[in-house]
Structure 1
């Protein structure tokens, strides 16, 4: 399937949000996926992942998650300064601002002739958390969260009652939760806390823990695990095939 890529500069209450759009070329109407990056924004691995999804018949939107805090087009490097800047941005942006970002993308999608009206979400690392947050939107029917950070912590600023786990009961679609057992950012106690909350709420979710490190889906760096990446995408395409087609 041939692809086309472009960007849209969307207006949000906190400023312009550049959003990269990767979708099948030519005529047709396709389900869309809101795809959330790591703290580094649209790096090479994130763009390749988005295009892989698009190549399976999805329109994939990759927002600059810290658009308020960086010049348009910012990509942080996978190094210590990039990590420090990304973590600082994460600690500076209130979680409620992501809700407004989500609504801006959903409203923009509604006016696109190639959009089928079926919507999913997916993300890695903080993007896994932001995909979980996107699942609060009623249009989102299937969500894949890979090693979602800070669901079990209070690192991302939020007002009382606005933490993503406080609002998890509002999720109406299906969740796919994928974790690495050797991930120091989400230890076993943190994963157990998230699982217990989702189970207590009776949400529709599946849960997978692999023998992998944090960022095992990223096809760059020493933590990459190609076998686990393949399994992860198989689970994603199963989820989206059932919920968005």
Structure 2
């Protein structure tokens, strides 16, 4: 599965990115994948390759490109609990500076770039994200109704913008929550907000998981949770992008 290194033009410069896609001369449905807060690294390339192997063109941008190319901070091969606090102290200022205005400006640029690649077919795209990337994916879908056919977010703070922010979503949605991230009561409140917004969705807590469970290079990794994530994500994309 080839990996192509890319530069995406944005109003604030050029975002470094990579794309994974099947190695044959056809067009494929496009998927915009947002990384977690630790950004582009080998585990994201592995996940993008896995998704591309199911017939998708997967674009993964560096959301913190304004601060330098990925990896923006030095990362160990494995992000254990002993190093996580120090890494988060470096990551959180980047997240705080990535305002909603920047997110939406970048989303416009990313989608424009994705949909004009020669390997990407016509039609709507999907957006997926992990951790803070789940919130970026949700914001992208809400800002681009009709253009984004599916959005999936995993262990992400998807309700952080409040219930009104969900109203613009016309995409089909899957939210996969870590058990440590929200209570059943909070899940019920989120799901009621999705119902009120008329969103077609599934939203569930993945049993036995903690925040970051999809990331195989962290202590939070849960193999069953990652497989459940694929079991939810792939059918969602198949339903919504099959004609693209």
Q: Which interval holds the TM-score relative to the shorter structure?
A: 0.7 to 0.9
Describe the SS at the equivalent of 1:135: helix
Unpaired segments ≥5 residues, structure 1:
154-162
Tell me the residue number matched to 1:222: 219
Is the Cα–Cα contact under 8 Å of residues 124 and 145 in structure 1 kept in the other structure? yes
Tell me the residue number matched to 1:125: 131
Give 1:166 deviation, angstroms.
2.9
Give 1:132 deviation, angstroms.
0.8
Q: How does 1:23-62 map to 2 (within 5 A)?
A: 23-62=21-60
C-alpha distance in 2 between matches for 1:164 and 1:75:
29
Q: How does 1:1-245 map to 2 (within 5 A)?
A: 3-68=1-66, 70-76=67-73, 77=75, 78=79, 79-117=84-122, 118-136=124-142, 137-138=144-145, 139-149=147-157, 151-153=158-160, 163=161, 165-183=163-181, 186-211=182-207, 212-245=209-242
Give 1:51 deviation, angstroms.
1.1
Deviations 1:90-146 (A, max 9, x none): 111211211111111221223222111231011110011111112121311011110
Is the Cα–Cα contact under 8 Å of residues 179 and 209 in structure 1 kept in the other structure? yes
Describe the SS at the equivalent of 2:7: strand
Q: Which moved more, 1:76-85 or 1:45-54?
A: 76-85
Tell me the residue number matched to 1:157: none
Is the Cα–Cα contact under 8 Å of residues 152 and 193 in structure 1 kept in the other structure? no
Deviations 1:200-226 (A, max 9, x none): 112111112112111111112332111
Unpaired segments ≥5 residues, structure 2:
none
Q: Which moved more, 1:186-195 or 1:230-239?
A: 186-195
Give 1:24 deviation, angstroms.
0.9
Give 1:75 deviation, angstroms.
4.3
C-alpha spacing 1:54/1:100, structure 2 compared with 1 (3 Å): same
Deviations 1:7-55 (A, max 9, x none): 2211212221112111111200100111001111112222211111011
Give 1:165 deviation, angstroms.
4.2
C-alpha distance in 2 between matches for 1:61 and 1:164:
28
Q: TM-score, length-normalised on structure 2?
A: 0.88
Q: TM-score, length-normalised on structure 1?
A: 0.87
C-alpha spacing 1:46/1:164, structure 2 compared with 1 (3 Å): farther
